[in-house]
Structure 1
């Protein structure tokens, strides 16, 4: 009797296991179908869109951005989210639970942007749809077909700009715009395109030196077509856009600063916090954390001042750093060469800290002059570290090591191509960027520079601490402006009193925070998540902890929400700190 009951129980258990396995396989297949179809659709929707980090193929057109298309996208992503709701993450196995968490966050973020009608405010004080087109113009082209597609894009600019103007008018009508104070001078990049005649126009750049594989007669024909497109399509579109920006947008833009001052502002700002930090923190909690971190970093800065031998106060030391010419490059070449030397020093050390390195190398180039006046001090990504050589008295050499670690290697120019080269990840993880993770890693890279002995003098170390302070101050300033009602002057004063940033950088950075709510929060919160995860792993693993394996684990994720990072590090600990590449024989270099 007992044997029969045992056999019956086992048979029932096998049946249950079979049903569960079938449900798991079915959930996995449905999930794969959802993200495969949506990702392919997403690529067609934004084909032709470009910025400095874009991975997509060149198109012969620019994206549709009209209101009807935006409404269609909102419906599509709402439907995708409903499909995801029908799948239980518990039924997924292997890497799919992480894939599901990452993908769901992507869809929720995209849908929130549509519901907030972010497309009605398609630029900020740092980045604009019309300047993004310049990155396409600066990219090398390989064959005649690429040039022909590019010329077709030029002919599509008037339609694209017209749709953007209609959208911006709709934003103005409902009080959803950039603050007027952040717009001063931002029209100049439009005027520069209009004023640059003939072959000196930015959009003619690819035609100045064309590949030899294109016959001379074909090159001549393409150049004639390009000049025609620039003269009869591009410049008239920019003239129309400039008139709108100067005569309507800059005059009608809101006079308030806070995101919470816009329609449904509190919910809007909270959604921006969620997008850029991937956390459900309140503005009050972030502001309080920022104040704590600022106080902590300040004490380290005071000690470093003593290490320099300087005898004055904190404020006097900041004045000394901002005004003594010895701390600033005398030429653009000096700045670029110093950055190149720092990056090369990292090359000699990086293998001690990261096991798998990307194949793609990066160049170091100056920020294009049409972008430089309002651009950040540097910008890094796949294949390129751009250094701002505009206004050299605002580019301190004591901060250059931290900036280079952040923007080049091991920061953006390492993390982003490494993700793209990771064949084991689905494309939606290889080619998308989550600010909290990406900026968090880049800021952590600055911190890693201490271990790598990249800060040679007390001034370099102060520059590093000032950069950490800068990002901690962002927690205070962003929430101060958008939640607590701080003025522009109040925010600038806070940055001036706590960081060694130059006056030019303080002005451009504060305007960036005003115009881009929530983005500034991603850096320090992301770094804290990585630092906390490392401390947890070191404590749990003890002598088993391997720093290269930890970094490989973090970087193998691509770009993920911070809770997913924390979950993956918990698994790293449970697996005794084994590198994710331990079994593939490629731990040193892929």
Structure 2
């Protein structure tokens, strides 16, 4: 899933402190109606201030910002600050402003929003002291990787959009300069990235710079212009010339300067291992994982939970394989390889239709929205995921697009389950279902990766059993996928919390049959460059399994999987403690259930 403004999500640290005074008079409100009205004004102000703080966030969040009272927002990318004290003060001010309200005086919807914001701000507070530990630059999800894609996916509805976009390009040098200064502050504090990661980042920038006339900021601009109605050929030619001038004058030199800045700092990295080798790295990792996953469990508890699930998956995998063998079914004769099945698993549109139909059994009916399957432009294939869902603006959730990257050559069950993750019953379904409930707009700007990626992973696992293959084959594939993700999650925690070296990682994976040290080195370096990323997916997935287990235990024979999913979907992205409260749960799960 691409939530394209997540790159600048500095945990809402840098909102103006005046918000703390906005709610200061609310504590003496005389009526419940006044309290609810004041709270919605507070969240509206918070929403408008955040989405208008940079042009990319505004563009990707709202199609018609004027309806929300946002007019003439400045054209800017925003900037990076290395002032830890300011980050801590801003974060504390937000929590203080929120806590001026009395949650018991709020209606049910506002109470839920209050609970979610409170948890979010609390995890932000825990992260704030470690501002310089945060890394906005890495080879997979770093700004140098995302920004060009953000720009080339910037769609135009009218010529005003084009004018704003072209003006934004001129702001690229100052934005990347602020990022360079942030990285210099990290270096001065002894917290700069490793030499290897810095080399990868510089190489990525060089690759972007060496694209020449095939650079996708040229090629996609022409395509985006072609969708504008009532624009003359002369206007198109003028815009094409302006775009080339802006890219050549501002964007490319800015990336060159940024690459030079990182290259100059690459020898200053003091740590080529996990976060725990930094002075306060272990504490930072704890705060980061809590923020990324939405789970209140400690790292040790998460490790224990992960090990239990891996053990269960491997046990189930062995039993299923034995059953598969006893049935006398071989890979050559199984229906997974039949021509009819392969054909059914090769057409993305047909797969999406099948998944949408299959969802009706275990999931509540979602809104009737339009979706389109598109293919990533050839010029972008090397830079994008195998598939992704492009989240629509919150005021136009009928326009849903899933992109497929043909360079990745996905097919069969891999394509089927990937489309389940990105489409139904994954991201597209969850996003549009929640949007149809008309939630407080502020809910759209707070990111709970554990919920969103956990839900998509949880439903991806369920999709194995929706596919046109036998249940035995589905179980083999699903248990294997779950176990592998679990190994990656354990490695993430082992590397960044327990201090695993590459040698330790090789030994760990070898115990599970992964003996190619080059493969393990790639995994190790990927985890090093993006701490906690795998936990969003895997821990979120496990937390949903735990919630289901608790509900089964609570409701017994009255448990309804569809009702369980309905409550999760209606609540929307939230920390898992809040979801537990919405489900009427109090106790944690103590054993693992099957899907």
What TM-score do you get using the length of structure 1 for normalisation? 0.79
Q: Distance in 2 between matches of 1:502 and 1:344?
A: 39
In the alignment, does 2:311 pair up with 1:295? yes
Give me the CA root mean square deviation: 3.8
The C-alpha deviation readout for 1:58-110, integer Å capped at 9, x for no partner, is: 97733221428886565333212112233343343322221111011232344
Q: Deviations over 1:558-577 (max 9, x none)?
A: 201101111111189xxxxx
Look up the match of 2:232. 215
In structure 2, relative to structure 1, the CA distance for the partners of 1:213 and 1:375 (3 Å cut) is: closer
**Residue among 26, 32, 45 paired with 2:53:** 45
Q: For structure 1, which segment, 147-156 or 186-195, has the greater mean C-alpha deviation from structure 2 after superposition?
A: 186-195
User: Which of 244, 252, 272 is matched with 1:235 structurally?
Assistant: 252
> Where do 1:420-569 residues align within 5 Å?
420-423=435-438, 425-453=439-467, 455-456=469-470, 458-491=472-505, 494-495=508-509, 498=512, 509-542=523-556, 544-569=558-583
Deviation of 1:506 (Å): 6.0
2:322 maps to 1:306 = yes
- Aligned equivalent of 1:255: 271
Q: Output aligned runs, 1:99-118, within 5 Å.
A: 99-117=113-131
Tell me the alpha carbon deviations over residues 123-163 of structure 1, each in whole angstroms, 9 at most, x when there is no partner: 22311213322233134312211111111111111111111
Say whether 1:34 aligns with 2:42: yes
In structure 1, distance between residues paired with 2:471 and 2:233: 55
For the residue of structure 1 that corresponds to 2:77, the secondary structure is coil
Among residues 364, 367, 379, which one is paired with 1:355 in the alignment? 364
Task: State whether residues 421 and 457 of structure 2, in contact with CA within 8 Å, keep that contact through their aligned partners in structure 1.
Answer: yes
Q: How far apart, in 1, do the equivalents of 2:404 and 2:213 lie? A: 28
Q: Is the 8 A contact 2:346 2:411 kept in 1?
A: no
> Is the CA contact 1:121–1:171 (under 8 Å) kept in the aligned structure 2?
no
Q: Is the 8 A contact 2:144 2:201 kept in 1?
A: no
Secondary structure at 2:176 match in 1: helix
| Contact 2:381-2:407 within 8 A present in 1 as well | yes
Matches for 1:315-464 after TM superposition, within 5 Å: 337-365=346-374, 377-382=386-391, 383-390=400-407, 397-423=412-438, 425-453=439-467, 455-456=469-470, 458-464=472-478
Whole-Å separation in 1 of the counterparts to 2:371 and 2:521: 29
Task: State the partner residue of 2:194.
Answer: 179
**Residues 500 and 203 from structure 1, CA distance in 2 versus in 1: closer, same or farther, beyond 3 angstroms?**
farther
**Rg larger in 1 or in 2?**
1
2-structure distance, mates of 1:82, 1:21: 17
CA contact (8 A) 1:380 1:407 kept: yes
**How far, CA to CA, are the matches of 2:446 and 2:74 in structure 1?**
22
Determine the structure 2 residue equivalent to 1:265. 281
**Contact in 2 for aligned 1:116/1:268 (Cα 8 Å):** yes
- The residue that corresponds to 1:189 in the other structure is 204
- Partners in 1 of 2:464 and 2:229 — Cα distance? 47
In structure 1, what is the Cα distance between the partners aligned to 2:343 and 2:525?
28
Render the CA deviation track for 1:343-374: whole Å, top value 9, x for unaligned: 23212222233223144444444566677667
Tell me how far apart the structure 1 counterparts of residues 390 and 530 of structure 2 sit (CA, whole Å). Answer: 20
Shift of 1:381: 4.6
1:217-247 deviation line (CA, Å, top 9, x unaligned): 21111111111111111111111122223x2
What does 1:59-74 correspond to in 2, within 5 Å? Answer: 61-67=75-81, 74=88
Measured in 2, the distance between the counterparts of 1:186 and 1:432 equals: 28
2:275/2:497 contact within 8 Å kept: yes
C-alpha change, 1:353 and 1:458, in structure 2 (3 Å) is closer
Q: Does 1:285 align with 2:301?
A: yes
Measured in 1, the distance between the counterparts of 2:511 and 2:301 equals 23
Q: Please state how far the C-alpha of 1:544 moved relative to its aligned partner.
A: 4.4
Q: 1:142 and 2:157 equivalent?
A: yes
How far apart, CA to CA, are the structure 1 residues paired with 2:523 and 2:151?
26
- Distance apart, 1:194 and its partner CA: 1.6
Judged with a 3 Å threshold, the aligned counterparts in structure 2 of structure 1 residues 310 and 496 are, in CA distance, closer, same or farther, namely farther
Alpha-carbon offset, residue 388 of structure 1:
4.8
CA displacement 1:168-217 (0-9 Å, x = unmatched) = 11112212233334455443432233222236443451224522411222
Distance 1:148 1:499, change over 3 A: farther
Contact 2:35-2:101 within 8 A present in 1 as well: yes
TM-score, length of structure 2 as denominator length: 0.78
Please report how far the alpha carbon of residue 503 of structure 1 lies from its aligned counterpart in structure 2 after TM superposition.
9.1
Q: 1:39 to 1:503 in 2, by over 3 A?
A: farther
Residue pair 2:87, 2:131 contacting (<8 A) in 1 also:
no
- How far did 1:30 drift? 4.0
Instruction: Give the Cα–Cα distance (whole angstroms) in 1 for the partners of residues 255 and 62 of structure 2.
Output: 25
CA distance in 1, matches of 2:258, 2:155: 27
Name the SS of the counterpart of 2:61 in structure 1: coil
Q: 1:113 to 1:194 in 2, by over 3 A?
A: same
Instruction: Identify if the C-alpha distance between structure 1 residues 520 and 340 changes in structure 2 by more than 3 Å, giving closer, same or farther.
Output: same
Distance 1:263 1:26, change over 3 A: farther
Alpha-carbon deviation of 1:540? Answer: 3.9
Tell me whether 254-263 or 363-372 shows the greater mean CA deviation: 363-372
The residue matched to 2:171 in structure 1 has which SS? helix
Indicate yes or no: 2:162 matched with 1:169: no
Deviates more, 1:360-369 or 1:549-558: 360-369
